[in-house]
Structure 1
């Protein structure tokens, strides 16, 4: 049986995007990038909300990972392209090979089915999607970058309280912190 992890990068004050939108403030250092690659090697599928999908897809399938890019980025691009991707959207009509569109109304049933069919990790990304699938999330992964942005889009929208247990944490020389939480 598969497990769903919700993984996002945040500022110290808990935002995945700054006040003006975008994730430009999250400048991944090489130590973080190598750890991310190590995690992605174990992922069976990506489950993305539309906005995160659009932020990831073109850069990692077309722009990054090309000759001349750092080896750690080329490796991430290769791993990304090799991993099946599901995008949860009611507006997208077409996607490239390797990507499946799932309508938002079907999110719970599709993720429930994927958890039963896939023996591996399903990496969920996107705060609105995560909020809609909260009861199906097994682990919460947070990479916290050493900066405060003062507002923007939070890791999770305001919602219900959920107590978690810290089972892993790691600090990087770059100042980035990794925390992995599970349900008690």
Structure 2
């Protein structure tokens, strides 16, 4: 069975963006950016919600030739990695992507059962639909030194607790990574 990772930058008070939807406070330093690039090399399939897909598709396919090498490397990785985009409103997707407009939970169960590699989920709403069903195997939180006071929460309200085991910590100059494994 494939391992599903939910990885996101998050404020100290648990938000992935501010009240206006901005994520400009999560800009990674080179060390953290390299970590993301290296981790992304291990991803065989990336699951995107509509908003994250649109955000990524707006920037990464158009990274200029004079951008830093680390950004050009991630742009190449993002374009090459197959993506499944979950949306009820989009009619088409590009950049090595497949569009799914039906039940995300059932589709992710099917995708997980198809292999034994590593997949990731991006987008708080998509992840929120999967978390209550126990479909997330690891949580990678990149906590930035910022209190936002509101925005989109990393986790949805839940009916029951989810026990996690701390598997790794790592300090970067712009964030601290906490890697948790579902138990």
Q: TM-score when scaled to structure 1?
A: 0.93
* 1: CA distance, partners of 2:61 / 2:103: 26
Q: 1:106 deviation in Å?
A: 2.2
Report if aligned partners of 1:44, 1:118 keep a CA contact under 8 Å in 2. Answer: no
Aligned to 2:129: 132
* 2: CA distance, partners of 1:52 / 1:118: 24
Runs (5+) with no aligned partner, structure 2: none
RMSD: 1.2
Q: 1:97 deviation in Å?
A: 4.4
Alignment of 1:39-50 (within 5 A): 39-50=39-50
* 2: CA distance, partners of 1:22 / 1:111: 28
* 1: CA distance, partners of 2:100 / 2:49: 10
Provide runs of 4+ in structure 1 moved above 2 Å. Answer: none
Number of residue pairs matched?
A: 180
In the alignment, is residue 148 of structure 1 matched against residue 147 of structure 2? yes
Report if aligned partners of 2:79, 2:95 keep a CA contact under 8 Å in 1. Answer: no
Aligned to 2:98: 100
Aligned to 1:77: 75
* 2: CA distance, partners of 1:156 / 1:146: 18
Aligned to 1:51: 51
Aligned to 1:9: 9
Of 32-41 and 158-167, the range deviating more from structure 2: 158-167
Aligned to 2:106: 109
